[in-house]
Chain A
Amino acid sequence: QKEVEQNSGPLSVPEGAIASLNCTYSDRGSQSFFWYRQYSGKSPELIMSIYSNGDKEDGRFTAQLNKASQYVSLLIRDSQPSDSATYLCAVNIMASYDKVIFGPGTSLSVIP
């Protein structure tokens, strides 16, 4: 059974600080990795995708991937109260024809 693990949180950071969210996955063959943001009662929204080892930056967001360690992270710089949400890590399953599985999510609270 392929799994994606995340710390459930809640993670609390002060406004303006860096929030660091972590994710590990069990499928060594996975090639595509995603971060989604989910506000309470809303649907997941794709914020970052990463496919190769290293860092990928998009505005205040940086995704980091280490395939050898089966580890993905998301850094949010200059955190804002509007970043308060649950962040879902998602991974494609290489052995599947067309399947992406999600982790349980990390709840982030940015304190003004």
Chain B
Amino acid sequence: EPEVTQTPSHQVTQMGQEVILRCVPISNHLYFYWYRQILGQKVEFLVSFYNNEISEKSEIFDDQFSVERPDGSNFTLKIRSTKLEDSAMYFCASSAQGKTYGYTFGSGTRLTVV
């Protein structure tokens, strides 16, 4: 069964450093997403991406965050100048038809900012 692949599975970084989280969506999907889940809290929407541009972003997704599809397969989330409160599980998801149909999530990257 097709799957969304995320790397790394766990990243530890020092406060103030930049991190890049990587995702390989399902190959025929056109809609891509990043969500995050702080430990014990709900899954929160960060950003949606379609046709090589951001289609929607949440209030969490400020100038500290950026997304990119550098080639035909990868989808990345960059977090600049990380803060302690950025510590969370970050999930990438993809969909064949956007918000109307369900998403396939990757296994996640656990980001720990120390």
Interface residues of A (CB under 8 A from B): 31-32, 34, 36, 38, 42-46, 49, 88, 92-93, 96-105
Contacting pair B42 A98 (CB below 8 A) = no
Interface size class of B (residues with CB under 8 A): 20 to 34
Decide yes or no: A97 and B102 within 8 Å by CB, A88-B43, A103-B42, A104-B42 being known contacts. Answer: no
In the complex, given contacts A43-B108, A92-B100, A104-B41, what are 6 additional A-B residue pairs having Cβ atoms less than 8 angstroms apart? A34-B102, A42-B108, A44-B43, A99-B45, A99-B56, A102-B45
Decide yes or no: A102 and B106 within 8 Å by CB, A32-B99, A92-B99 being known contacts. Answer: no
Choose from B50, B55, B91, B100 the contact partner of A43 (Cβ within 8 Å). B91
CA distance A42 to B105 in the complex (A): 10
Interface residues of B (CB under 8 A from A): 31, 35, 41-45, 48, 50, 55-56, 58, 91, 98-108
Decide yes or no: A97 and B107 within 8 Å by CB, A32-B100, A92-B99, A92-B100 being known contacts. Answer: no
Decide yes or no: A46 and B42 within 8 Å by CB, A97-B55, A98-B48, A99-B56 being known contacts. Answer: no
- Chain B residue at minimal CB-CB distance from A91: B99
How many Å from the CB of B40 to the closest CB on chain A? Answer: 10
- Chain A residue at minimal CB-CB distance from B104: A46
Across-interface contacts of A101 in B (CB, < 8 A): 45
CA distance A68 to B19 in the complex (A): 45
CA distance A98 to B101 in the complex (A): 11
Contacting pair B102 A105 (CB below 8 A) = no
Decide yes or no: A45 and B105 within 8 Å by CB, A98-B31, A102-B42 being known contacts. Answer: yes
In the assembled complex, 24 residue pairs joining A and B whose CB atoms fall closer than 8 Å, in A order, are: A31-B100, A32-B99, A32-B101, A34-B102, A42-B108, A43-B108, A45-B105, A46-B102, A46-B103, A88-B42, A88-B43, A92-B100, A96-B56, A97-B55, A97-B56, A98-B31, A98-B48, A99-B48, A99-B58, A100-B99, A101-B45, A102-B45, A104-B41, A104-B42
